[in-house]
Structure 1
Amino acid sequence: MTFKYFDRPEIFTGLRDGLTTCDTCGQEKLCFDAEAFLGGEDISSICPECLASGQLRERDIFTCHGDITELKRQLKNLNPSLTKLQIDDIANQKTIELEKTTPHLVTWQDWNWPCADGDYCKFIGYGSRALYSSLATKTTGEELFKNSFYYNLKDDSDIDYLWQDILPVKEVKDYNDSNELATLFYTFKSLNSDTIITIWDSN
């Protein structure tokens, strides 16, 4: 199951327990729960194939909200010769792709999907000391964690305390594991570099 902006959604967000009718293709399949999707339309279930192929593009339904303001800023810095209209067009295309073809990430709070290096990032798992240590190639897991906080969280987060007392030591293997925690660290990776981005929230 391959999605550009979401690694292994069958593990990290899960599918419905049994076969259900996909509200886009009408077939009985293992589907994502679509009841928490955003927008002006409501559907109950969508199969991975329909979601990945863009069946939501013409509907008023979104699975998330991208941080389009930050994306435009990054694109402008990376492409100073492009006009505002060109930047807006690129950002809008990437945002539609993210919001219409990405599985829904279940979170405690509402926040915008992060971006890095001129594109939205891929969600790769729930943060733990084990995960950050495995991702650290040029530094320690602790340093990687502390340097990975998204720009809008750095000033309001006690990052030393979060590492020492809150971040799980062991791997958070799947969505069921995440349900056992009152604070979650959502770990993202840039599509264009080894940059890791962390967003966290609590129930």
Structure 2
Amino acid sequence: MTFKYVDKPEVFIGLGDEETPCDLCHQQKPCFDAAAFFGEEEMAWICPDCLANGRLYERDSYTCQGDVMELKRQLKALNPALTKADIEDLADQKTLELEKTTPHLITWQDWEWPCADGDYARFIGYGSRPFYQHLAGGSDAESFFKKSIDYAQNEAPNPDELWEDVPKKSINNYADSSEYSTLFYVFKSLHSDRIITLWDSA
């Protein structure tokens, strides 16, 4: 199961416990829960194939909200020769792809999907001290974590306090994540090794 902006969604998001009819193709199969999608059109279930193949482009429904303002800023910085209209078109294309073909990441609060290097970043797992140690590649895990905190969340609360809440055990799947009242969502750039962390609490 491959999605551009989410790694291993069957592990980190999960499919329904039983096969259900997809709201789009109406086939009975393992589906993602679509009840929390955004937009005017309510849905209950969507199968991975319909989501990956862009069937949501036909509906007033989307799975997340991209940080389009930051995306436009990055695209302009990376492509100074492009016109404002070109930047707008490119940002809209990337945002639609994110919001219409990405599995819905289950979070406590609603926040905007982060960007890196002129594109939306890929969700790669839930933050934990062992995970940050792995990502740091021999560097100090705490310092690596603090540098990864998303620009929009830098001011609150103190990164030192946040580190205290980072789980000491690995979070290997969505079931494990439900054991914590504060979660850290780790994203990786599609174009570099940059890591971005967003967090929220129940």
Distance in 2 (CA, whole Å) between partners of 1:39 and 1:110 is 14
Partner of 2:22: 22
Partner of 1:119: 119
Matches within 5 A, 1:27-106: 27-106=27-106
Partner of 2:178: 179
Identity among equivalent positions (%) equals: 60
Amino acid at match of 2:39: G
C-alpha deviation, 1:78, in angstroms? 0.4
Matches within 5 A, 1:99-178: 99-137=99-137, 139-163=139-163, 165-178=164-177
- Give secondary structure in 1 for the equivalent of 2:125: strand
* Structure 2 residues not aligned, in runs of 5+: none
Q: C-alpha offsets along residues 102-132 of structure 1, whole Å, 9 cap, x if unaligned? A: 0000100110000010000000011000111
- Give secondary structure in 2 for the equivalent of 1:187: strand
Distance in 2 (CA, whole Å) between partners of 1:136 and 1:157 is 22
Would you say how many aligned residue pairs link Structure 1 and Structure 2? 202
Q: C-alpha offsets along residues 6-56 of structure 1, whole Å, 9 cap, x if unaligned? A: 001111111000110011111110000101111010111110010000000
Q: Give the TM-score, by structure 2 length.
A: 0.98
Decide which structure has greater helix share.
2
Moved over 3 A (4+): none
* Structure 1 residues not aligned, in runs of 5+: none
- Give secondary structure in 2 for the equivalent of 1:63: coil
C-alpha deviation, 1:147, in angstroms? 0.1
Partner of 2:195: 196
Query: RMSD in angstroms over aligned alpha carbons?
Result: 0.8
- Give secondary structure in 2 for the equivalent of 1:139: coil
Distance in 1 (CA, whole Å) between partners of 2:198 and 2:104 is 16
- Give secondary structure in 2 for the equivalent of 1:152: helix
- Give secondary structure in 2 for the equivalent of 1:91: helix
Distance in 1 (CA, whole Å) between partners of 2:162 and 2:155 is 13
